[in-house]
Structure 1
Amino acid sequence: REGGVYDKLEKELTARAVVLSGEGGNFSSGLDLSMFQAMQAVAASESCEGRTREGLGKIISVMQNTCSASAKCHAPVIAAVNGVCFGAGIDLITACDLVITAADSRFCVKEVDLAIVADLGTLQRLPKLVNHQVARELAYTGRVFSGREAKEIGLALEVQESNDEVVERALSLAKTIASKSPLTVRGIKRTMAADLETGVQESLDYVKLLNSAQLYSSDLQECMKSLAKKKNPKFSKY
């Protein structure tokens, strides 16, 4: 989150490499759906449509900055992925420098199943990491894919057989990177980011405006109701 560990790292500049992992057996199951309910409650309490959209834009900006923190960090960030990596989890790992995953990890660009245009970095960074058509297929379908496929398409650097091996390999890579000249490593990251991050912020700003306008849709409400009832959503409008 903003004001969190990454801000501390940037102030101290002592970290030479960072390993990002999840707790409880999963890397990230995505954003908490209760957050969307809370956002809708806030929207319902505001009588001014303009202020509602402005407030939503501010919330999206905060979440975008959180998911982009790894890309902006001075030190290389290695994602150690185990279990589920859905939705915002993809936003997080596409902003990392390296991704190590377990073979049986599961990945998904989940937002389409919630009637949401992914707005935290996946649509901006995933096409820079994998084949552009593969990125489109994953975003359009919300298909779940394995750690092995993540390696095959270029989303992950390496696949390990167990969760312990994932963390061990990530830490080993971090130690190797940390043994190099920190000034040079920072320069390498900045130079490569100058290419990889080109156009990312502009696209994030665009999707923020898009979702500020259309996020509170009847399609989103239908998806939330269907999830609660464990049924497939039905969309009646174009």
Structure 2
Amino acid sequence: MTATNASPSLHCFALTWHGAVAHLQLNQPDKLNTMHPLFWRELDGVLQQLHNAGEARALVISSTGKHFSAGMALETFADPGFAPQDRTPEGRAALSDTLADMLATFNRMERLRMPVICAIQGGCIGGAVDLVSTACIRYATRDAFFCIQEINIGMVADLGTLQRLPKLIPMGIVKEMAYTGRRLPAEQALAHGLVNALYDTPEALLEAALACAHEIAAKPPIAIWGTKQALDYARDHSVEDSLRQMGWLQSGIWSNRHVSEAVQARQEKRAPEFPPLAPLHAFADPR
């Protein structure tokens, strides 16, 4: 399927569409796709756009160059406008709100109304681990590796890695990575369940990620949304609470029409047709 470009104004990313699949690509390979304030602003804006529009039925996030991302751009810490002010309690207290502002972007990715698939090649370092930990599905190249880099530069990882990784892989592995700053090679990441599959080349990796996204996009978007809601809720709650939530969720989104269309399409050997999610509008936006 031919991709259509949709991001002429982006500098750090390229956004293309493959039918109902959105493909967001980190696009600063000369900078190892490091994360800086403009990266954050563009990522947050694109995610909000995709979430509100309801047109994308799956999102693939990939990268360019040798590494997926080398994490936070170190020069950002030298910027007087960003660097935490650690000489006063007032300055240190302000860091909490700065982190909350940054965390909001990764939280937004996790809460998107469509599944997110990350295609990871080369190094996934520091803040990049925070990013991919929010995804639903992760694929990687065989030369990929994951590194909680923050401990190697004298700080604690603070953008979600220490909170999300223990939900994905054994705590002992997380602690080893977090305490030592060692790299977790792709083969071990696969063995521990951090990634779903490995591929020999970035091209094969992206092809697999897009194929999975298209398979998801063929399902009813509201049922995919409901499934994502149920899985994320179950991750953080007891089985009893999650089953109760499942009853409320299913009663809210059940559709005889969708079930009938899926069955009829299979009988007629054709692709089923399902409506997209409804677009969202901020309450404060003018109507």
Q: TM-score category by the smaller chain?
A: 0.7 to 0.9
Aligned to 2:114, which of 75, 97, 113?
A: 75
| Change beyond 3 A, Cα 1:188–1:54 | same
Note the residue ranges of structure 1 that are not aligned, 5 or more in a row: 199-238
Structure 1 distance, partners of 2:194, 2:113, is 21
Q: In the alignment, residue 101 of structure 2 is paired with which amino acid?
A: V
Q: Flag the structure with higher helix content.
A: 1
Q: TM-score, normalising length from structure 2? A: 0.64
Deviation at residue 67 of structure 1 after TM alignment: 2.3
Aligned to 1:37, which of 78, 81, 90?
A: 78
Structure 2 distance, partners of 1:24, 1:62, is 28
Aligned 8 A contact 1:99 1:155 in 2: yes
SS state at 1:119 partner: coil
Report matched runs for 1:184-199 at 5 Å.
184-197=223-236
| Change beyond 3 A, Cα 1:113–1:42 | closer
Deviation at residue 25 of structure 1 after TM alignment: 2.8
Structure 2 distance, partners of 1:42, 1:133, is 32
Q: In the alignment, residue 68 of structure 2 is paired with which amino acid?
A: F
Q: In the alignment, residue 72 of structure 1 is paired with which amino acid?
A: R
Partner of 1:63: 102
Aligned to 1:104, which of 133, 139, 143?
A: 143
Deviation at residue 31 of structure 1 after TM alignment: 0.3
Aligned 8 A contact 2:102 2:159 in 1: yes
Identify which of structures 1 and 2 has the higher relative contact order when contacts are C-alpha pairs closer than 8 Å and 6+ apart. 1
| Change beyond 3 A, Cα 1:43–1:183 | closer
- Matched residues, percent identical? 32
Partner of 2:162: 123
Q: In the alignment, residue 27 of structure 1 is paired with which amino acid?
A: F
Aligned 8 A contact 1:68 1:92 in 2: no
Structure 2 distance, partners of 1:193, 1:131, is 18
Runs of 4+ in 1 over 3 A off after TM superposition: 39-44
Structure 1 distance, partners of 2:174, 2:162, is 8
Q: What is the count of residue pairs matched by the alignment?
A: 196
Q: Does 1:16 align with 2:64?
A: no
Deviation at residue 55 of structure 1 after TM alignment: 2.8
Partner of 2:172: 133
SS state at 1:4 partner: helix
Partner of 1:205: none
Q: Does 1:89 align with 2:128?
A: yes
Aligned 8 A contact 1:21 1:27 in 2: yes
Question: What is the RMSD computed on CA atoms of the aligned residues?
Answer: 1.9
Q: Does 1:158 align with 2:197?
A: yes
| Change beyond 3 A, Cα 1:42–1:88 | closer
Structure 1 distance, partners of 2:47, 2:82, is 30
| Change beyond 3 A, Cα 1:100–1:182 | same
Q: Deviations over 1:39-88 (max 9, x none)?
A: 587556x98x2431243222211221222232111100000001110011
Structure 2 distance, partners of 1:14, 1:8, is 10
Note the residue ranges of structure 2 that are not aligned, 5 or more in a row: 1-39, 238-287
Deviation at residue 23 of structure 1 after TM alignment: 2.5
